[in-house]
Chain A
Amino acid sequence: MPDDNLLHFEDMPPGTVFPLGPKHVTADEIIAFAMEYDAQPMHLDAEAGRQSILGGLAASGWHSCAMMMRMMTDSYLLRSAAEGAPGIDYVKWKKPVLAGDVLSGETRVLDSRQSQSRPGIGIVSLRHELRNQKGDTVLESENPVMIRLRNPESPSS
């Protein structure tokens, strides 16, 4: 893909919205992730999940973050000139993500500015929200992403 077709800093002004999902979360995926990264009963076993505070076989919060990441790459990052992220301001796991849930939501650009230290790179502040099929918000997060400027000489932010 020619570079010109990629989303650059100039293409993501504040207020830009990208859809996330839908992503169907299966029991097998929840268990496979938990066996590797978060082997607690409520992430591994349906009965243990039902008896826990979470109320059912529930995805590890880290799995929810990883699924959100995949939704971000599929929606906009893979067709962008993004150069990674320095971190995550916060993640709130607002409600359990349960087996069978369908997650969808959006990323909204809150703010954008040019990097002082790295010419040609801009920083966009993003806010992400995921909801389940009932409309309940399950995850909220904000983070900055580094992205190349299309026109480093005369940027139009």
Chain B
Amino acid sequence: MTNDPYFVPGDCQELGSYVFTEESIIAFARQFDPQRFHVDAEAAKDSVFGSLCASGWQTAATWMKLNIAAGAREAQKAKAEGRVLPEFGPSPGIRNLRWFKPVYAGDEIFYSRTVRGTRPLNSRPGWSVLELTSEARNESGELVMSFDSAALVRLPEAEQADI
């Protein structure tokens, strides 16, 4: 059931990196997470983090940003080569999200995702659930975040079977 060629368990894809500037940290936090250690560099010094750091939700949403960008690059390449890629649908959720270390202003964070497996979705013929584990690391290679996620995918074979 999991031997489709698109999502081989254990396959790890590097998604690229993002530099968290002080400006971007404060802009995100003012809108969504205005705790003092995310919006005020002075006040952050007195917090447990010791310095201005990104909202964990910015670190997480940036995974999606890079995941989407990587998908767009892959789609362009596939189109040029005449290949059909799986179609992605919505996600039911995430689990086991851990923020291991703060992401500080100036940090460059490197993201990746690893396939855990796929299983057919009985309630939606043609669609499968793709399960991923994703990671974010800083310049020193330290893990700053990881989480497990799921997404609905429709594999090209299933599309053909519909016809």
**A74 nearest CB neighbor, chain B only:** B34
| Contact A62:B97 (CB < 8 A) given known A53-B90, A69-B33, A73-B35 | no
Q: Given that A84-B49, A86-B99, A91-B94 are contacting pairs, would A69 and B89 also be in contact in the complex, using a CB cutoff of 8 Å?
A: no
- Interface flag for A36 (CB, 8 Å): yes
Q: What 1/0 flags go to B64-95 for Cβ under 8 Å of A?
A: 11001000100000000000000011111111
**Distance, CA A17 to CA B64, complexed state (A):** 31
Min CB distance B29 to A, Å, is: 9
Are A37 and B94 interface neighbours, CB within 8 A? Answer: no
CB–CB B93/A93 < 8 A: yes
Closest chain A residue, CB of each to CB of B58: A66
**Dominant SS among interface residues on chain B:** mixed
Chain B contact residue count (CB 8 A cutoff): 34
Q: Is the CB of A84 within 8 A of B48?
A: yes
CB A138 to nearest CB in B, in angstroms, measures 12
Main secondary structure, interface of A, reads: mixed
Residue of A nearest to B37 (CB): A84
Q: Is the pair B90, A91 in contact by a Cβ cutoff of 8 Å?
A: no
Q: How large is the interface on A (under 10, 10 to 19, 20 to 34, 35 or more residues)?
A: 35 or more
- What residues on A are CB-neighbors of B99 within 8 Å? 84-87
Q: A53-B89, A53-B90, A90-B94 are in contact. Are A66 and B48 (CB under 8 A)?
A: no
One digit per residue, 1 when the CB lies within 8 angstroms of any chain A CB and 0 when it does not, for chain B 27-40 equals 01001111101000
Residues from chain B with a CB closer than 8 A to the CB of A89 are 95-96
Closest Cβ neighbor of B124 among chain A residues: A53
> If the complex has contacts A54-B90, A65-B57, are A78 and B65 also in contact, measured as CB distance less than 8 A?
no
Could you jot down 10 A-B contacts, CB within 8 Å?
A: A38-B61, A38-B65, A39-B68, A53-B90, A53-B152, A60-B61, A69-B32, A73-B34, A84-B37, A89-B96
